[in-house]
Amino acid sequence: MMTKGRAEHERAVRGLHWSDAAIYVVGDTRSLAAGLTAAYAFEDLLGCTVVMREVSSFLSHSLGVIRAGSVVVFISGEAPEMLDATRAAAKRGAQVLAIAHASAPITAAASLVFPLPEVGETSGSSLVHACLEHVALGYLAVLAARLVKRPQPALERLEREWNAVPDHLDSLSVHLADVVRTSADELRLATSLFFVGDGYHQAAAERAAALAQRRGSCPVIGVDLARFRCNHLPNLNPGAGVVIFSGSQSRTRKAAAEVAGEVNERGAVALAVTGGNDHDLTRQVRLTLLVPDLLELPASVLSVALGGWLGRELATPSRERRLPRSVAPDSGAQGRSGHLG
């Protein structure tokens, strides 16, 4: 989706007036994890304030502060209130941007649409749809930064790495099947599961937890690094499993490695999704799913896909587990880690 329809995507971005006012990002409970990607990307790349709201909270508490010209980004979701919220924001004169399939109801009330490809109903369609939301919101931020800021080397590098994300995603599906399956097996008997991330990588943790929760056999929690350290780590039991999302470029990679060490001290199972140069973290965990050493935004989107795949694998009964058609069954693990890219 990042190459097809590029002109249409750029028109959507150019059609918005980007000001110093806060950008509102609105989703339902299913799509809010993608809102985290938007929040960090817009704040990081555009230097603006982002207010993220669940749709019912937006209608109850935030709609009153929306003014003519406010930028409100709606992430297509299943909640019936989404269409009401889109219409209400448009009625107040907001610039309403819908991240949605062209056939989604909220597009009728939006000023501009950033279209998502249609996804057929398959066993993995929810994960594909989730990844597309993160990709679209990250891409929206990259385009906006390029169009409203002066050219600079950091943005040029980001766009080059961003354009390579589809190839990395294809490589992930081909080369990491065995490692994802092994990771799921390491966690399958856990009495509780924690998916932990910070900054850009919090979205991956939240998305993985949402998919893994469908297993229903134990508590599954997606949480940011600081809250996990304060609220959950002191009472962590030896039967727990913890997956830490970080990256070689992550600003909190040192803290992530320290948390992994503390998880080990309590006898729980620690796994990681991170870059190959994040040596401190990889030394502290039982198994690592490696992604390329990219800037935080593109790396986090790969983490979303990989974490979602792991979460879906955990939620799938053993007798129903099948690999994607594009996955080579004899590829993957290198010792106790797998490398994408």
Domains and CATH numbers, the chain: 6-163 (3.40.50.10490), 169-339 (3.40.50.10490)
Most confident of 31-35, 111-115, 262-266, 329-333: 262-266
The pTM for the full model equals 0.86
What separation, in Å, do the N-terminal and C-terminal C-alpha atoms of the chain show?
20
Q: How confident is the model at residue 119 (pLDDT cuts 50, 70, 90)?
A: low
Q: How confident is the model at residue 114 (pLDDT cuts 50, 70, 90)?
A: confident
Examine the pLDDT at 105 and tell me if it is beyond 50: yes
For residues 19 and 194, which has the higher predicted lDDT (pLDDT)?
194
- In order of 112, 195, 209, 304, the CA distances from 172 in angstroms are 32, 20, 20, 12
Q: How confident is the model at residue 335 (pLDDT cuts 50, 70, 90)?
A: very low
Q: How confident is the model at residue 337 (pLDDT cuts 50, 70, 90)?
A: low
Residue type, 154: A
Residue among 2, 340, 3 nearest 173 (CA): 340
For residues 24 and 215, which has the higher predicted lDDT (pLDDT)?
24
Locate 36 and state its tokens.
Answer: 């985290």
For the sheet containing 337-339, what is the strand order? 220-224, 192-197, 240-245, 269-275, 287-291, 337-339
Examine the pLDDT at 194 and tell me if it is beyond 60: yes
14-23 mean pLDDT: 80
pLDDT at 328: 29
Which region among 116-125, 276-285, 297-306 has the lowest average model confidence (pLDDT)? 116-125
The percentage of residues in the chain with a pLDDT greater than 70, rounded to a whole number, is 89
pLDDT at 5: 60
pLDDT at 229: 96
Q: Partners of 91 in the beta sheet?
A: none
Q: Quickly tell me which residue has 């690999």 as its tokens.
A: 323
Examine the pLDDT at 139 and tell me if it is beyond 70: yes
Examine the pLDDT at 338 and tell me if it is beyond 80: no
Q: How many Å apart are CA 123 and CA 341, to the nearest integer?
A: 25
pLDDT at 103: 84
Examine the pLDDT at 50 and tell me if it is beyond 60: yes
Q: Partners of 220 in the beta sheet?
A: 193
On whether the CB atoms of residues 58 and 85 are closer than 8 A, the answer is yes
Q: How many Å apart are CA 11 and CA 25, to the nearest integer?
A: 20
45-67 mean pLDDT: 93
217-243 mean pLDDT: 95
- Beta-strand relationship, 287-291 and 269-275: parallel
169-178 mean pLDDT: 86
Locate 131 and state its tokens.
Answer: 């990844």
Give percent helix, percent strand, percent coil of the chain, each to the nearest 5: 50, 20, 30
Q: Quickly tell me which residue has 């002109």 as its tokens.
A: 7
